[in-house]
Amino acid sequence: MHGAILGDIAGSRFEFSHPAKFKPRQEELFTPASRYTDDTVMTIATKYAVLTHSSYAKAYGLFGRRYKKVGYGPMFLEWLDRRSEKGYNSFGNGSAMRVSFLGHYYPTLDQVECEAAKSALCTHNHPEGIKGAVCTAGCVFMAAHGASKKQILKYVKTFGYHKLQPIWMRRPFEHFDLTCQGSIPLAIRCFLESENWEDCIRNVYSVRCDTDTVGAIAGGIADAFFHGTSFDEDKLLRYYLIKPNPQGNLDTFLYDWAVKDWRKRRI
């Protein structure tokens, strides 16, 4: 799951555009200008929901209202303001970016898929939104349990994601796409063509896209497959997640839940 958070942070600077003379293989992944976005907050909220036995809707509402200015879409903001627990028929990529923890926590693929569907229903209850969450969480589970890239690709295709062209073919035509249908095939391709977690994120950098969310989706799968990011994860999480609250005190809530040890509590 840390790979999803760090993928979000690494992608945050280039969500809308690349600077002139941008070099995806040389650009620093983490700088003072990097930040966590809604992808990180909701990823941690999913872990919170599972470990506290809260509903996903309550967890997303709690975290979303506590960290409200991090880049949520207008429909999710309205959902927060209404304090709703019902889905609004979204097929946005927000259902997929937050599920990586499920792929690590639950012991069977069936359980992972079931929980991923539940996590989507309270907001992204369009069939494409649910499918995106289930596919992403399933990929994380398979990656964490020793599946090959070929096996993961075969699994992805069972969801109807067939537009999985090589990245070099996508670069000239890729654009900012917030849907599951657009984001997940790209994220999967960035993972499939990578040799390690950093390489995966640099693949994301190489395409004009919703880099923080594609980075979170691809980064979560790559983290599970390569067994880590090879960065000092705790140092980065402390730096980016622990910030002063409005009262001037350090807010460690996000960090504490991001690093909370869950293995002893696993069902």
pLDDT tens readout for residues 7-37: 999 999 987 667 667 788 889 999 999 999 9
The answer, as to whether pTM is greater than 0.85, is: yes
pLDDT at 267 over 70: no
| pLDDT, tens digit, 9 for 90 and up, residues 219-254 | 999 999 999 999 999 999 999 999 988 787 899 999
What number of other Cβ atoms are within 10 A of residue 91's Cβ? 21
pLDDT band at 266 (very low <50, low <70, confident <90, very high): low
- Could you tell me which of 83, 16, 71 has the C-alpha nearest to residue 41? 71
* Integer Cα distance of 124 and 122 in angstroms: 6
With beta carbons less than 8 A apart as the criterion, state whether 83 and 61 touch: yes
| 99-120: b (≥16 Cβ within 10 Å) or e | bbbbbbbbeebeebbebbbbbb
**Are 149 and 218 a contacting pair, CB within 8 Å?**
no
- Domains with residue ranges and CATH for the chain: 2-14+34-265 (1.10.4080.10)
